[in-house]
Amino acid sequence: MAQSEARVILQRVEGVLIVPLPDPMHDAFLDDLRISVLEYMRHHRIAGLILDLSGVEVLDEHDFERIRRVADGVTLMGAPVVLAGMKPGVAAGLVMLDISDAWVIPSLSVESAMERLR
């Protein structure tokens, strides 16, 4: 495994987990993220998970599908997942790819996502 890959950091703020997504995003990161969050949820109750996309400039179909899997898992365990701060370029790109995004609970920023989940 490459050394440069970002590690998953779970930040808990007022019962909400906040995870900034790195750019570029590796498959291993999202897999680690899924496992860590689900494991965490086994022992702690959380009000929700916020995935902070404000640092992500490029996101393809594949990454988006992986993010969906994380969201699905967490949702199954009973907590909502919010995608916060998506960049205009990323949003426009995803729409052009014509992929399903009905599952997404979006938010303008981490701040407004917090307001929503608290």
Partner 1 sequence: MNYEEFKRLYEVSEADYENVRKIGVKLAPAINDFVERLYAYMREALGYEFEIHFPDEASLARAQSLSRRAWLEFLEAKWDETYIKSRIRIGEVHAQLQIQPRHYLSSMNKALDLWSQLAYTLAPNQKDLPKLIESFWRVGQMEGALVVDIYSQRTGEIIAQQSRALTDMSTPITAIWDGILMLPVVGIVDSRRAQDIMQRMLEQIAEKRAIVFILDISGVAVVDTAVANHLIRMTKAARLMGSYTIVSGLSPSVAQTIVELGIEVGDMKTTGNLQDALRIAFDRAGVEQTIGAK
Report if residue 45 touches partner 1, rule: CB under 8 A: no
Report if residue 10 touches partner 1, rule: CB under 8 A: no
* Minimum separation from the CB atom of position 93 to partner 1 (A): 9
Report if residue 97 touches partner 1, rule: CB under 8 A: no
* Minimum separation from the CB atom of position 86 to partner 1 (A): 5
H or E element that contains 40 = helix 27-43
Q: Contacts with partner 1 in 50-89 (CB under 8 A)? A: 83-89
Can you tell me the distance from the alpha carbon of 95 to that of 41, in angstroms, rounded to the nearest whole number?
A: 32
Can you tell me the distance from the alpha carbon of 79 to that of 1, in angstroms, rounded to the nearest whole number?
A: 31
Do 60 and 32 form a contact (C-beta atoms < 8 A)?
no
Amino acid at 32: D
Residues at the contact surface with partner 1, assessed by CB under 8 A: 83-92, 94-96, 101-102, 104, 106-109, 112-113
